[in-house]
Amino acid sequence: MEPLSWGAITLRMLAQFAPVWIALIATFTVSIIYKRKLGLYGKLFDSTIGMIGFGLVMFWVFTAILGGPMDMIVTHDALTQISGLKNKTPGVVVPGAQENGLYSYYLLGGDNLARDVFSRMVKGSWVVIAIAPLATLFAFMVGITLGLPAGYFGGKLDTALSFFANLILAFPVILLFYLLVTPEIVETGIPSYMAAVLFIFPLIFATVLLNSRYHTQPRIRTPLLIGVLVVLGWLYLSTISEVGSKIAILPSFLDGFDVPGGILVVFVSVVFVNSPTVFRIVRSLALDIKTRDYVAAAQTRGEGAWYIMLWEILPNARGPLIVDFCLRIGYTTILLGTLGFFGLGLPPESPDWGSTINEGRKLLSIYLHPALPPALALLSLVLGLNLLADGLREESLRD
Amino acid sequence: MLQFILRRLGTMVLTALCLTFIVFFLTNLAPNLEKVAKTQGNARMSDQDVNSWLDKRGYLAPLPVKYGQWLGILPGYTHQDDDGVITGRCISKDNTAQTAPTFCGVLQGHWGLSTVFRKPVLSVISERLALTGWLMMWVMIVMVPGALIIGVFAGMREGSRTDRSLSTVSILTTATPEYVSGVIFIALLASSKFGISPLLNEWGWIETKTLFKGTATSAMKEITFVNFFLPVITIALYGMGYIARMTRASMTEVMTAQYIRTARLKGVSFPAIVMKHALRNALIAPFTVIMLQIPWLLNGVVIVETLFNYKGFGWTLVQAAGNNDIELLLGVSVVSVVVVLVTQLISDIGYVYLNPRIRIS
């Protein structure tokens, strides 16, 4: 068999992505039909920039979900090495593919360990899509839970919290990563302890949120809070406790799932780096909004401080926060890539984009194809998130 | 104003102390010390040997004591061998046990010895910092005017076609981290097999095999356009988009102000309005952004110096952190923290100085 030409490679890649195209078309059709009923999300489909951004982001989300856990788009296993395909150019024929029931080509060539570049790129998207939004969400929980009282109460609390936030921000990010994400530090259990502290913020947030709303109606509040806390508490303990590590609180039959050590450390350090910035944004928004009339009205009504913060100030700060959320997912993606680029945290055979770029760059002057696909993938995802944020900002400013 | 600066300086010192203490704590954790002992001494040392090796070099003192010694507010450790030979922090070839000073820390100018480079930390850092200084200087020369021009042109007429295309370009550059743009640039411009270099070579436009060089190692001796363009443009592009967007935002705001309308109604030409009336007010906000961008450049520098193998400050940081070179790592963090804090201070003072509407109470 002949190696594929570039046209054939493109066609075959488009065909491989078929499930993603179907999902994208379905999403866009439904959204555009019902866009008038969908609030801010629907308005996104009025701006071209926003739609392009949304399309790029959803492309990678669908690719990650369908290609990652569901194994649909990939042509080969991301870790299997096929001898004779080391550093081979795109479109190369896989020897003996028919007999072994494999896909007959390496669409984007082989990397320096003779693995399929295309499949690794698809699998790598799952690492990013699984970690980045969730880590950003956690950073927001931490930032909101600390930033609202800092802005609302001010005073000593504000001074202390702002000092800590600036302290973390004054650290060069890469130095922090090098200090936190080395095997020696992981051995001491410090990242696990940090996880234990950082992951408790969603619990506090949910408790305060519900309690401040329903504390006048104990009959609703008590069962609601118990239910939510049991579920969240179990998730929390399952995440942080791991048999054999420094923190092993839960007995193994109760431990629902284990987060692989490397992923947890990466997750913690990314949350840790992002939360001070979120804190500063939330704090300045709270400072601004607390002078509004509706806050004064709520104070006159005798509402509690937490009710005002979470049910009066926070909903009114949602516009800038949603925009920043999109931007920050992009930034987190860049940070994850940076970690991979320096070979920190994730295992070396991991298909994530940063690690593959790092591996590919070593042979860059001779072989381009292992490094370019993950680089362009990362670029398009972050670009999509930035355009999406831009579209959202434009549309939310319009009314 | 003076009180404001003094208070800021106080916070700065406190922040620097806290940060160095954190670095000190993390690098002095037991597994890290064991790694240092095994890489410096002998990889097959027993636990007892490791302990005595560490004890001899004063690593086993309590953390606050060690930190005090490093800072220079506590007397440096001394250790007496079984043979009666005295070693210590302040004792070196030139200073015997009798003549050595009691205190020798950062405050006295003793930054310790780098275990990776086997040289005094201070000389390693100053040498590397000079190299990075050149990189930063060229980045600033390319980035700042470029970003301001893009921002001003985009913000001059909001919503025009120029605005839309320039804004998209700046979004694109902020979405491209250094390790992505660097790889793409090397692929397009510095590869002898791909991109435009083989074409140019065939046409006889360039004599060398590639248009630009993919490594900047030769730039450490002599900076040329060919070996320095790619690292500079890689860092500059990532920062450029953000500054350009800030400039655009501030420019659009100024262009809707009343005094611009007045000038227009008086019949002042559009270029004159932009140059004389709008520009000065529009450049206040970008100034702070540019100063605050410097700490971010530091990150870019680490990535780009690793990618292009330019052995400057960022490269040193990676070496120090990768080998747990405690003293060098502390030196590096002191320098970077000072850079971050000083730029913050300058940006605050500059903002007040440039903007007469803000007065410090």
Give pLDDT tens digits for B146-170: 999 999 999 888 888 998 899 889 9
Does residue B360 register a pLDDT over 60? no
CA distance, residue A285 to nearest chain B CA (Å): 19
Chain A residues close to B183, C-beta within 8 Å: 357, 360-361, 364, 371-372, 375
Asked whether residue A33 carries a pLDDT value surpassing 80, the answer given is yes
- Residue in A closest to B344 by C-alpha: A170
Among A residues 214-253, those touching chain B with beta carbons less than 8 Å apart: none
Contact check, Cβ <8 Å, A170/B31: no
- The pLDDT value recorded for residue B187 is 85
The answer to whether the Cβ–Cβ distance between B177 and A390 falls below 8 Å is no
Q: Is B80 helix (H, G, I), strand (E, B) or coil?
A: strand
Instruction: Give the pLDDT band of residue B93 (cuts 50, 70, 90).
Output: low
- Of these ranges, A189-198, B27-36, B311-320, B346-355, the one predicted with the greatest mean pLDDT is B311-320
Is A160's pLDDT higher than 90? yes
Distances (CA, A) of A315 to A87, A282, A286: 53, 12, 11
| Amino acid A201: pLDDT | 93
**Shortest Cα distance, chain B CAs vs residue A97, angstroms:** 30
Q: Taking all residues of chain B, what is their mean pLDDT, rounded to a whole number? A: 84
**What pLDDT digit, counting tens, does each position of A344-373 carry?**
878 888 888 999 999 888 888 778 888 899
The verdict on a CB contact (< 8 Å) between B175 and A163 is no
pLDDT at A41: 85
Cβ(A266)–Cβ(A181) below 8 Å: yes
- Cβ-defined contact of B183 to A361 (cutoff 8 Å): yes
Contact between B31 and A187 under an 8 Å Cβ cutoff? The reply is: yes
pLDDT of residue A249: 67
Give the residue on A whose Cα is nearest the Cα of B187: A368
The pLDDT of B112-127, averaged and rounded, is 88
SS (H, E, C) A14-26: HHHCHHHHHHHHH
Q: Is the pLDDT of residue A158 over 90?
A: yes
Q: Across A299-303, B186-190, B271-275, B294-298, which has the greatest mean pLDDT?
A: A299-303
Distance (Å, whole) CA B348 – CA B5:
10
Q: What residues 13-32 of chain B have any CB closer than 8 A to a CB of chain A? A: 14-15, 18-19, 23, 26-27, 29-32
**Is B193 within 8 Å of A365 when comparing Cβ atoms?**
yes
pTM to 2 decimal places: 0.90
Q: What confidence score (pLDDT) does residue B358 get?
A: 57
User: Which residues in B lie closer than 8 A to residue A179 (C-beta atoms)?
Assistant: 23, 26-27, 321
Max Cα–Cα distance, chain B, nearest Å? 92
Size of interface A-B (CB pairs under 8 A): 139
Q: What is the mean pLDDT of chain A?
A: 88
Q: Which residues of B touch A361 (CB under 8 A)?
A: 179, 182-183, 186, 307
What span, in angstroms and rounded, lies between the C-alpha atoms of A73 and A108?
14
Q: Is the pLDDT of residue A148 over 80?
A: yes
Percentage of the residues of chain A whose pLDDT score is greater than 70: 95
pLDDT(A195) > 60? yes
Mean pLDDT of B106-122: 84
Task: For residue A163, give the nearest of A283, A75, A83 by alpha carbon.
Answer: A283
Is the CB of B332 less than 8 angstroms away from the CB of A368? no
Model confidence at A250: pLDDT above 70: no
pLDDT at B209: 72
List, as ranges, residues 39-98 from B with C-beta within 8 Å of A. none
Is pLDDT above 50 for B361? Answer: no
Judged against a pLDDT cut of 70, whether residue A77 lies above it is answered with yes
User: What tokens does A282 get?
Assistant: 């939330």
Give the gap in angstroms from C-alpha B12 to the nearest C-alpha of chain A: 10
pLDDT at A254 over 70: no
Question: pLDDT class for B66, splitting at 50, 70, 90?
Answer: confident
What mean pLDDT is predicted for residues B288-295? 79
pLDDT at B324: 79
Look at B187 and A366 and tell me if their CB atoms are within 8 Å.
no
Test A379 with B321 for CB contact under 8 angstroms: no
| Residue A141: per-residue pLDDT | 94
SS3 call for B77: coil
Kindly state the average pLDDT of the residues A114-130.
Answer: 90
CA nearest neighbour of A185 among B221, B130, B33, B270: B33
DSSP string, A120-147: HHHHHHHHHHHHHHHHHHHHHHHHHHHH
pLDDT of residue A256: 62
Taking each continuous run of H as one helix and of E as one strand, the counts in chain A are 19, 2
* Partner B, chain A 40-69, Cβ-Cβ below 8 Å: 49
What pLDDT sits at residue A305? 92
pLDDT at residue A248, rounded to an integer: 65
A68-72, A120-124, B71-75, B198-202: range with highest mean pLDDT: A120-124
CA distance B148 to B116: 42
Provide, as residue numbers in chain B, all residues whose Cβ is less than 8 Å from the Cβ of A163. 11, 14-15
Which residues in chain B are closer than 8 Å to A358, comparing Cβ atoms?
A: 179
* B309-312: Cβ within 8 A, 24+ apart: B309/B215, B309/B216, B309/B217, B310/B131, B310/B135, B310/B215, B310/B216, B310/B217, B310/B219, B310/B220, B310/B231, B311/B128, B311/B131, B311/B217, B311/B220, B312/B128, B312/B129, B312/B131, B312/B132, B312/B135, B312/B220
Answer whether A109's CB lies under 8 Å from A99's CB. Answer: no
Helix (H, G, I), strand (E, B) or coil at B98: coil
pLDDT in tens, B190-249: 877 777 777 777 777 776 777 787 787 787 788 888 888 999 999 999 989 889 988 998
Q: Return the higher-pLDDT residue of B244 and A189.
A: B244
Residue A134's CB: how many other CB atoms inside 10 A?
15
Neighbours of A340 (CB within 10 A): 29
